[in-house]
Chain A
Amino acid sequence: MRSDRGQKSPLLLKVCAAGGLLFLHLPILLIFAYAFTTEEKSYQWPPPGLTLKWFAVAWNRADVWSALALSVQVACIATVIALVLGTLCAAAVSQTKFFGREAISLLVILPIALPGIVTGIALRSAFSLFDIPFSVWTIVLGHATFCVVVVYNNAVARFRRTSGSLIEASMDLGADGFQTFRHVILPNIGTALLAGGMLAFALSFDEVIVTTFTGGQQATLPIWMLEELIRPRQRPVTNVVAMLVVIVTFLPILAAYYLTRDGDQIAGSGK
């Protein structure tokens, strides 16, 4: 291995690291170039010409709009559920020492530790077992299940950083449980919850594998894209939508990063 050529001139290391980062980013940047191509039929590189007309075409596509609306709706509801469940779990696990807290951590992490297809097919067979028809709520159910973990991870990290004596100090100064929650706990974990919520939103907004099992005939934006990937109808529109999706998911990630950057990191155990 060549990563340890002494402290002064890790040139090869620098090159490898920079190359790795480029490898991670170039494909995403490429999407931006394709959004402007004049080529309609193939993935030709370099683009034969540049145009803005596909933005207008995409703008007027009703199917894109309805898919986007469904995605936003699902992501919002799933995020709210994940916020409630994740915070409750994190509070219980970190504020009290009780038997079985490891089991609870495992239970929360399981939906992302197991392959998405297992979660998807399990939920689908449960739906068919109980004759539950597909709806927005079946999608939400799946999404909320694996979104809990990102809220949980962020909240647990912040709880760990928040000194337990703050709560005692508040009670000592005459604040009861509710006052302590409102004046001490909430302000201290607020940004972590906001960050966790944003990540949960991004996670849900992007999810495709579980959704293929729990969505029925409804198309979220990723499902719409998947359809386009398998049976392309109008490639340039897909390019434009892909670029917009990149931008839309970057914003909450960046916001979450700046909300939590002093101290705990955004839970790396993402999707």
Chain B
Amino acid sequence: MTVLTVDTPGSSILPRRGGFAGALSDAFWRHPLLLLILMLTPPLLWLGIIYIGSLIALLLQSFFSIDDFSGVVNPEFTLATYAQLLNGTNLDIILRTVSMAALVTLASAVLAFPIAYYAARYAKGRWKAFFYLGVMLPLWSSYLVKVYAWKLILAKEGIVTWVFAKLHLGFVLEAILSLPVIGGNSLSVSYLGTFLVFVYIWLPYMILPTQAALERVPANLIEASADLGASPRQTFRTVLLPLALPGIVAGSIFTFSLTLGDYIIPQIIGSSRLFIGQAVYAQQGTAGNVPLAAAFSVVPIVIMGLYLAAAKRLGAFDAL
């Protein structure tokens, strides 16, 4: 056995490494707060000043009003713009958007559950990776391309009409399209189309957190429930669903928020009636009424604030 030569004549405290780096390193070690402040300053300046500052500037504008004759913003405090927000047409826009967001969230949750459950409980090894990528790739692939794909699918001469015709079910499609409110000339100009595209685009955002929550449910818990005599339906309702709920709520934060603020999907696929996002875009752009646009954009902020507070109580943040 080779033994290390241990003749430790050296000092037990070593001198500082020379130069500026050595001194700086010692200073950071002695004052960790200094390092922390140095690390936090750039991101805080960026997000805190530029981003939050802009948001506050926006909020302030919503308390201004626009001069009806000159079209110039009058920088005096008023609630008139908010009063305008609550008139018939504008209130309709808000209600329409919120109900769409709620329906999209519900549909996403129902569609996402089997996929998430299968991926969490039954998929192993390579299949697990396959499922994960199978959800990640659509989530990350280009938003506009996905919307465009649905424009192709739902167009009057597109694949949906073709499939219905091939199955000799064209009359079913006709019947659906002739329904009041949700129907239209073709799927691509109907509420039904808008709804479908919203669900499609936001579905991956629901699958991932639901899967993450289900992943944490130990398999033996389900077996224990069955062992204790619960039917599959009872097991689902009393064990699985409560445990998956934080994940579903976490996913719903995305589906709800993203639907509330989107203005491109209803513009490209949908009827001519506006959603909040379109109203904001129109007011700040063509109409030039920035205060009203600001007031409109406060609506999703407030709704999401309430939604997040409720979600936090349900423990959804742990599932994000």
Instruction: Find out whether A and B make contact in their complex, taking CB atoms under 8 A apart as touching.
Output: yes
Contacts of A133 in B (CB 8 A): none
CB 8 Å contact bits of A25-67 with B (1 = contact, 0 = none): 1011011001000000011111000000000000000000000
Contacts of A91 in B (CB 8 A): 39
CB 8 Å contact bits of B22-65 with A (1 = contact, 0 = none): 10111011001001100110111011101111110110010000
CA distance A92 to B71 in the complex (A): 47
Choose the segment among B77-85, B86-94, B128-136, B175-183 that binds chain A (4+ C-beta atoms closer than 8 Å).
Answer: B128-136
Are B294 and A125 in contact, with the CB atoms below 8 A? Answer: yes
Are B268 and A121 in contact, with the CB atoms below 8 A? Answer: no
Are A88 and B43 in contact, with the CB atoms below 8 A? Answer: yes
Are A3 and B40 in contact, with the CB atoms below 8 A? Answer: no
Choose the segment among A158-166, A186-194, A202-210 that binds chain B (4+ C-beta atoms closer than 8 Å).
Answer: A202-210
Of the candidates A28, A31, A46, A269, the one whose C-beta lies within 8 Å of that of B138 is A28
- Most chain A Cβ neighbours within 10 Å, of B26, B42, B46: B46
Place the interface of chain B in its size category: 35 or more
Please judge, given known A-B contacts A4-B232, A118-B55, A124-B284, whether A31 and B261 are in contact too, CB under 8 Å.
no
Are B136 and A111 in contact, with the CB atoms below 8 A? Answer: no
Are B294 and A176 in contact, with the CB atoms below 8 A? Answer: no
User: Which A84-107 residues have a C-beta within 8 angstroms of B?
Assistant: 84-86, 88-89, 91-92, 96, 98, 104, 107
Are A115 and B58 in contact, with the CB atoms below 8 A? Answer: no
Are B257 and A115 in contact, with the CB atoms below 8 A? Answer: yes
Contacts of B143 in A (CB 8 A): 206, 208, 222, 271
Q: Does A148 reach chain B (CB closer than 8 Å)?
A: yes
Chief secondary structure at chain B's binding surface: helix
Query: Looking across the interface, which residue of chain A has its beta carbon closest to that of B297?
Result: A118
CA distance A46 to B52 in the complex (A): 49
Are B235 and A145 in contact, with the CB atoms below 8 A? Answer: no
Are A20 and B112 in contact, with the CB atoms below 8 A? Answer: yes
Q: Does A123 reach chain B (CB closer than 8 Å)?
A: yes
Please judge, given known A-B contacts A25-B138, A117-B297, whether A206 and B144 are in contact too, CB under 8 Å.
yes
Q: How far is the CB of A33 from chain B (nearest CB, A)?
A: 9
CB 8 Å contact bits of A106-134 with B (1 = contact, 0 = none): 01101101111111011111100100000
Are B240 and A21 in contact, with the CB atoms below 8 A? Answer: no
Q: Does A74 reach chain B (CB closer than 8 Å)?
A: no
Contacts of A269 in B (CB 8 A): 254, 320
Are B294 and A121 in contact, with the CB atoms below 8 A? Answer: yes
Q: How far is the CB of B71 from chain A (nearest CB, A)?
A: 15
Query: Looking across the interface, which residue of chain A has its beta carbon closest to that of B204?
Result: A24
Are B134 and A24 in contact, with the CB atoms below 8 A? Answer: yes
Q: How far is the CB of A145 from chain B (nearest CB, A)?
A: 5
Are B21 and A176 in contact, with the CB atoms below 8 A? Answer: yes
CB 8 Å contact bits of B96-123 with A (1 = contact, 0 = none): 0000000000000001111101110010
Are A177 and B145 in contact, with the CB atoms below 8 A? Answer: no
Q: How far is the CB of B231 from chain A (nearest CB, A)?
A: 9
A-B contact pairs, 30 of them (CB 8 A): A2-B114, A16-B115, A17-B117, A20-B207, A24-B204, A31-B152, A43-B152, A46-B162, A85-B47, A88-B40, A104-B43, A107-B52, A111-B51, A117-B277, A117-B297, A118-B58, A118-B300, A119-B51, A121-B58, A123-B51, A125-B57, A178-B25, A202-B140, A225-B148, A226-B264, A254-B137, A257-B136, A265-B132, A268-B209, A270-B140
Ranked nearest first, the 8 interchain pairs of A and B with the lowest CB-CB distance are A115-B261, A16-B114, A17-B118, A268-B208, A176-B25, A122-B54, A126-B54, A43-B155
